Amino acid sequence: MIPRYLVDVDLDDIPHIHTDVIVIGAGIAGLFTALRASETKRVLMITKKSLLDSNTRYAQGGIAAVISDEDSPEYHMQDTLIAGAGLCSPEAVDVLVHEGPDGVQDLIRMGTQFDLENGEFALTKEGAHSQRRILHAHGDATGAEIVRALSERTKQDPNIEIWDDHFVIDLITQDGVCYGALVQKPDGQRVFVRGNATILCSGGAGQLFRYTTNPDIATGDGIAIAYRAGAQIQDVEFVQFHPTALCYPGAPRFLISEAVRGEGAYLRNIKGERFMDKYHPQLELAPRDVVARAIVDEMELNKSTFVYLDITHESEELIKHRFPTIYEYCLNYGLDMATDWIPVAPAAHYMMGGVKTDLHGETVVKRLFACGEVSSTGVHGANRLASNSLSEAIVFGRRIIERIQALSPLSGNPTLQAVSPRLENPKQAVVERKLKLQKVMLRYAGLKRSAKGLQKGYEELTRQLSIYDTHMTKREDYEFANLLTCSLLTTTAALAREESRGGHYREDFPERDDLQWKKHIVFKHGEDRVEEWI
């Protein structure tokens, strides 16, 4: 049984700190919401590493928004709904496609410099988009440019206090209301931070898997602490594996942006043959789940550990101009994109599900909000459309701040004295347990799943429940507890969903089944899971 709190806590025994708005996490969601909130509120921003450490920083492709006169919100909505495989919320998608352009203008006002061509935004096209609507910066460094601009403003904002290297252990709730967070400082001291509103912007859970494009901080903290606090967790069986991560001896699984295929790159198997025509009429620009599984099929068919990404038919000038970051990175490992085929393989990239929110980013726990990858707004459904994630963060970040502005002051004081169950200390080092978890998830809950494998994976994961020990004091212990929570939720949902849809593929149920499964699987701590029809 997953406990309500990870550690023993008595609020009377620890210092209290007060602020208006608590923002947990950085990235585009945290930075943007903090800046918008600071216009009228005092903001405390808590990061477990630094402002520059987030998934956003590594986002290459860009941000999707209707900018061109040849495009329309209706086209963008249609593309998003198709990619989402029947599980998108039409209301949430409608919000995204109509409010996205204004959000982009906010980013520009905050200092983000997107690439221009002849005085107009340079727009590109990515997988499953019918139009060129992806804005990018410095070719393939969009996320880094957004983080640069927003973090510079955040550091200079007198209404924002930044706590780097702090870890949020749990949220403090009472009677269905969030009062703030239990935070561990770098010196090990714990404090209760009380806020009128708390916004989770803690990113995804890519570290659930052995191979991922995510940085090491993506350990599912926000999903896990929200679950323990009583929020609803939705759609976590839908995990997006990016089709093309660098797969080369000695190199990390570095993301090779979908924009490379958008600019005309081919996928070739180990024999040098193009193969996407066997799998989808959109070839290399098919939805990501289709492309990723096609690559795995080709790898299995030809007994290889990778396929090739080939853009050598394009000019060296275009490649260097459009993809300078990827070009330089590959060159560091002796691979020249202009002349060499790049070995790639799928890697865990994005979690479509997360903390369920309404159209203003609020959870069922009052005064608790979620924004960015940690959230489940209904935009992504079963499969995220490329470059919609950055748009989602700014659109729903704006809406969260609108809701917070209307909140009355938080009254009352929580009286909390929680004692978590004391369990036997595990003998394995946390790094060993984390690696074992990642291998279990990759093997049994990865791109291809089955009841037999998922059941075996779930049983292996439940044997690790002894990690919930109240003597935990280190960040890596909390992170592993959060990873284990997320892995149990993901495998449970994947085992329950007896169909294939979007980022969830069951070899024993390979077809999509709208009659039985056009619905969400939702978890809430202490309650049985529920299934909510679309």
Residues with catalytic annotation? 288
Cβ of 98: how many Cβ atoms within 10 Å?
15
Whether the CB-CB separation of 153 and 35 falls below 8 Å is answered with yes
DSSP 171: E
Task: Please state, in angstroms and rounded to a whole number, the distance separating the CA atoms of residues 42 and 56.
Answer: 24
Query: How many C-alpha atoms does 391 have within 13 Å on its Cβ side?
Result: 32
Whether the CB-CB separation of 357 and 226 falls below 8 Å is answered with no
DSSP 488: H
Whether the CB-CB separation of 497 and 513 falls below 8 Å is answered with no
Query: 513 by DSSP, 3-state: which?
Result: coil
Q: Describe the crossing of helices 90-109 and 142-156 by its angle, rounded to 10 degrees.
A: 70
CA torsion, ordered 264, 269, 274, 276, to nearest 10 deg: -80
Whether the CB-CB separation of 234 and 226 falls below 8 Å is answered with no
Sequence letter at residue 234: Q
Length of the chain: 534
Query: How many C-alpha atoms does 298 have within 13 Å on its Cβ side?
Result: 26
Q: Which phi-psi region, left, alpha or beta, contains residue 139 (left: φ > 0; alpha: ψ -120 to 50)?
A: left
Query: How many C-alpha atoms does 33 have within 13 Å on its Cβ side?
Result: 37
Q: Describe the crossing of helices 27-37 and 142-156 by its angle, rounded to 10 degrees.
A: 30
Strand partners, 63: 135
Tell which residue, 234, 181, 201, has the closest CA to residue 370.
201
What are φ and ψ of residue 245, in 5° steps? Answer: -110, 140
Whether the CB-CB separation of 288 and 241 falls below 8 Å is answered with yes
Query: 248 by DSSP, 3-state: which?
Result: coil
Cβ of 426: how many Cβ atoms within 10 Å?
17
